[in-house]
Structure 1
Amino acid sequence: MPIEAIRDFAKEDLNAVDRVIRQRLHSDVPLIRQVSEYIVQSGGKRLRPLVLILAARACGYSGTDHHELAAVVEFIHTATLLHDDVVDESALRRGRATANALFGNAASVLVGDFLYSRAFQMMVGVGSMAVMRVLADATNTIAEGEVLQLMNCHDADIDEERYLRVIRFKTAKLFEAASRLGAILGGVESRIEQSMASYGMHLGTAFQLIDDVLDYSGDLHQTGKNLGDDLAEGKATLPLIYAMRTGSPEQAALIRAAIERGGTEEFPLVLRTIQETGALEYTRARAAAESGLAVAMLEPLAPTRYKECLLQLADFAVTRTY
């Protein structure tokens, strides 16, 4: 089942989420409307809202609070993108100019703050302490992950364990929260709730690892970003970590220097080293292992079309090209 088929299956719920997003983006401040509308409607995959919707339905939920919470998750994700692009000084995302490139850093940061605060207003409206706890913990962990990533920039000594910690904090945590929230709405027992949270964590980890692969093998027109963006920012992602660990001393020294300096001057040589050491294949294998763990976490769920879609999302995470 391709991702388009999954989205089509959940189309009614996703359309309801989009209506909530548009309604909740309203502000009497024109610049807030302009920037937030630009970033929210810039072609994102809406994967985190989709995970929450499918998880809630797979756990037997039949109300409408999942629409509000899916929008909350998307707002939190969007706020992190706005802040990320400022920190990374990015000019391109999803094939379009970033909000900070168009509107400036100050506007991007402040509108990101608006989206965070609007998300918290919305989650309070659901009236569940468990929901608020999950989202409050998630946003705090994501912020820690952002700082960890900043500390790791231009650090060629980062190892695989440290890098995976950044992924789990910065990227996978919101997938985990989305999946857990679906389980909470479904009122399942704590054992299944924890399994659903683990599903999201492993899914998000696999998703980010494939992002790392695509940074050295993707197509600009599909990924919306230039090859080597991570290297330009001095980020030691898993393909670089593995290539340094398994390559020759000369190859390791080349990658180390490229990470410490940043930029893309050595990108062709670094890319050749990554290819020669099998670093992309290794990273894909790690992503596939995470996807397999995500699939295993769904075992307690009764067989439904929603569960099947969650299984297919785990496959999409590692087979995607964008």
Structure 2
Amino acid sequence: MNQSLAQKPHDQLAAALSGEMEAVNRLIRTRMASEHAPRIPEVTAHLVEAGGKRLRPMLTLAAARMCAYEGEHHLKLAATVEFIHTATLLHDDVVDESGQRRGRPTANLLWDNKSSVLVGDYLFSRSFQLMVETGNLQVLDILANASATIAEGEVLQMTAAQDLKTGEEIYLQVVRGKTAALFSAATEVGGVIASADEAQIKALYDYGDALGIAFQIADDLLDYQGDSKVTGKNIGDDFRERKLTLPVIKAVAQATDEEREFWRRTIEKGRQQDGDLEQALALMDKYATLAATRDDANGWANKAKAALSVLPDHPIRQMLSDLADYVVARLN
């Protein structure tokens, strides 16, 4: 692992792309305005200004820079990616009935569900306006497909999250929808707008896809073994919310009839009681599913790094490789 990981790769990327990110942030503020509905910028600003890492738009800028793009359309694409991400967060918080995100009250709690859904719709519309302005049909195709995949993944998660028949293949499909689709689209469009060759565009897609999967698997694992001060989540939140994530899916696959009945009661039926989380953790320990999940996350991080090999030799390429390491370094 590169020694520069001590500086956090996303901070390195932010520093390397600071001028372009400032331009993207200005564009975001301009385009989230609404002359006729002041609630739109109020709700949007609450989330956009919440101090997120802006990782997805940075990936678009990084891909374009690495492929020697000279122009300004990548700024619009980076803002597009952030708008799509913000819209999905607004919708997710309504669906999940969340009260907190990034340590702050959610928009649906501060305003209401209707405002969150409608402002999310507005941001989706804004994102399509921005991507059309680039005049690139391939970019429009990639981001439109990603938007559809994200929505499809959310619906699939809703039906699969509490069904013990959900296996690793369906889990991966959900993860590709809810997380990896926007990562891969973000990196791919950066290469497309820079007129990179087909092999490089494919490599950028593969990098974003594998990075997004590693990122989500790591997040799901941290729910059971993370530091709540760092993650902002309490240990076992996913269990209490009856979410079938990879550590549990692996435990269910190996469960005895008695253990399967425990999972059915707690996850499918939601009849949880004191001591259930501890029993769930004991079953995961029995079958070493946390370690197996960590191995999966590391495997996807390695796939992300391997995809970079055909891309131009550029300082940003090393930062993207370090970023893949950092995503899973949180697990150690």
Give the TM interval when normalised to the shorter protein. Answer: over 0.9
Residue 305 of structure 2 corresponds to residue 316 of structure 1? no
User: What is the match of residue 180 of structure 1?
Assistant: 188
Corresponding residue to 1:18 among 1, 21, 25? 25
Deviation, structure 1 residue 198: 1.0
User: What is the match of residue 123 of structure 1?
Assistant: 131
Determine if contact 2:62/2:190 at 8 Å carries over to the other structure: yes
Q: Determine the C-alpha separation between the residues in 1 that align with 2:191 and 2:253.
A: 40
User: What is the match of residue 138 of structure 1?
Assistant: 146
Q: Determine the C-alpha separation between the residues in 2 that align with 1:120 and 1:205.
A: 25
Deviation, structure 1 residue 36: 0.5
- Equivalenced residue count is 322
User: What is the match of residue 36 of structure 1?
Assistant: 44
Residue 288 of structure 2 corresponds to residue 278 of structure 1? yes
Deviation, structure 1 residue 246: 3.1
Q: TM-score, normalised by structure 2?
A: 0.92
Q: Determine the C-alpha separation between the residues in 1 that align with 2:15 and 2:98.
A: 32
Query: Helix, strand or coil: the match of 1:184?
Result: helix
Deviation, structure 1 residue 148: 0.4
Residue 249 of structure 2 corresponds to residue 241 of structure 1? yes
Corresponding residue to 1:300 among 301, 310, 313? 310
Q: Which amino acid aligns with 2:23?
A: A
Deviation, structure 1 residue 208: 0.5
Q: Which amino acid aligns with 1:53?
A: L
Where do 5+ consecutive residues of structure 1 fail to align? none
Corresponding residue to 1:196 among 199, 204, 208? 204
Determine if contact 2:149/2:181 at 8 Å carries over to the other structure: yes
Q: Determine the C-alpha separation between the residues in 2 that align with 1:199 and 1:264.
A: 39
Determine if contact 1:199/1:295 at 8 Å carries over to the other structure: yes
Deviation, structure 1 residue 247: 4.5
Query: Helix, strand or coil: the match of 2:50?
Result: coil
Q: Determine the C-alpha separation between the residues in 2 that align with 1:76 and 1:139.
A: 7
Determine if contact 1:54/1:306 at 8 Å carries over to the other structure: yes
Determine if contact 1:228/1:264 at 8 Å carries over to the other structure: no
Q: Determine the C-alpha separation between the residues in 1 that align with 2:272 and 2:203.
A: 41
Q: Determine the C-alpha separation between the residues in 2 that align with 1:90 and 1:147.
A: 17
Q: TM-score, normalised by structure 1?
A: 0.95
* CA deviation map 1:243-299 (0-9, x unaligned): 222355433332232111337632232123223432221111101111111111111
Where do 5+ consecutive residues of structure 2 fail to align? none
Aligned CA RMSD, in angstroms, stands at 1.7
Determine if contact 1:172/1:204 at 8 Å carries over to the other structure: yes
Corresponding residue to 1:224 among 224, 232, 237? 232
